[in-house]
Copies of this chain bind each other. A is one copy, B any other.
Amino acid sequence: MTKNIKLNMSRRIRRTPYTNRVEEHGVSDFTVVNHMLLPKGFKNSVEEDYWHLSKEVQIWDVSCQRQVQISGPDAAALIQKLTPRSIKTMETGKCFYIPMLNENAGMINDPVLLKLDDDMFWVSIADSDILLWAKGYALGLNLDVNIEEPDVYPLAIQGPKSEDLLVSIFGEEIKKIKFFNFRVVDFEGTKQVIARSGYSKQDGFEIYFKVHEKYFDKVEMGEKLWDTIWEAGKKFNISPGCPNLIDRIEGGLMSYGNDFTGENNPLECNLEKYCKDDVSHDFIGKQALSKIKNEGIKQKMMGIIFDGDPCPSIGQPLQVLSKDNKKIGQITSGIFSPRIKKNIGLSMILKEYWNVGESVFIQTLDGGKRNGTITSLPFPD
């Protein structure tokens, strides 16, 4: 129904330094993340983009992964309060995935933390205003920190040829960047952070492109970066892309706001490894999380494989029913996998139905029913 609705453009839905380029490449649709445009498709189908991503290299405008820069004497102490994951042993140059909880242990974001220095961090956020959260909390505690959104516009280079492409531009040093580490490279006289990371299950990098808008035109410099990568990428068969729904679901990569919200705790999201029992530090939601651990969770994120024609996802979750027609979950992200040759989806599932191989029904939006099976995540190869 809501498939061909236009997005009304306004200044509030912020453009990025790459939006002109993305438009020139024929972007077909956008979504909005952190008050900023995120491309969601180009000329090819999601399936064509999926195959291309798995074999070649793509350039993605992920500027909407806004950075919350936390610096100053109390920076590390504040960050430690904002997540159950310990950052005690975190070294400069590392990226940490850090769930963030509210006082009820509900998930309010699942950002990647970059440690730039002992007193300087970037929090690369999903879609909620963590700038306001961190700032409000720091003001209340009267901490000695500075919190701002710097002029950083991440550009992702994803796919198996991404290393070769970036080596051809930035040199052999790129090869030394391990997964979830970053290095600082030079681009046109500016220092740029490049991390080995990205929202796909392929190899890839994220360039945390930063210019100080006082000295540089961000669009001019951003387009220079885009064009440099695009030109060098031609021999690697580069194409414009964006987070790919098939790749993401197959890889079991969750999306904040889609697959989990503030109503969910990190244990339901399979994030217990970031919430260890022996955590010695204090953090927001600690007491609530401890209570949830003791009582045990009632549902958690599982994979679903189901039959039938390709089942489009248009923003309304499909219900998951047990064989005796009890509602046991809802598919919050779903799509047809051309590799598995079935529909796949992510769903919180009630505890009694966690067995891999459990048979279920999926209720489609037109009221029909399809046969499905519970599986583990990521989806089996």
Contact = CB atoms under 8 A, between A and B. Distances in A.
B11 A31 contact: no
Interface in A116-143: 127-130, 132-142
B6 A28 contact: yes
A258 interface: yes
Contacts of A135: 102-103, 133, 136
Contact of A30 (B5, B28, B41, B332): B5
B35 A7 contact: no
A335 B284 CA distance: 46
Contacts of A28: 5-6
Contacts of A255: 10, 12
A23 B9 contact: no
Interface string A1-37: 1111111111111010001000100011111100100
Contacts of A32: 7, 13, 31-32
Interface residues of A, number: 55
Interface stretch (A169-177, A185-193, A312-320): A312-320
Interface of A: 1-13, 15, 19, 23, 27-32, 35, 40-41, 102-103, 108, 127-130, 132-142, 255-258, 284, 313-317, 332-333
6 contacts: A5-B7, A5-B28, A7-B29, A8-B31, A35-B128, A136-B136
The 5 nearest A-B residue pairs measured at CB: A140-B140, A136-B136, A12-B257, A9-B315, A129-B129
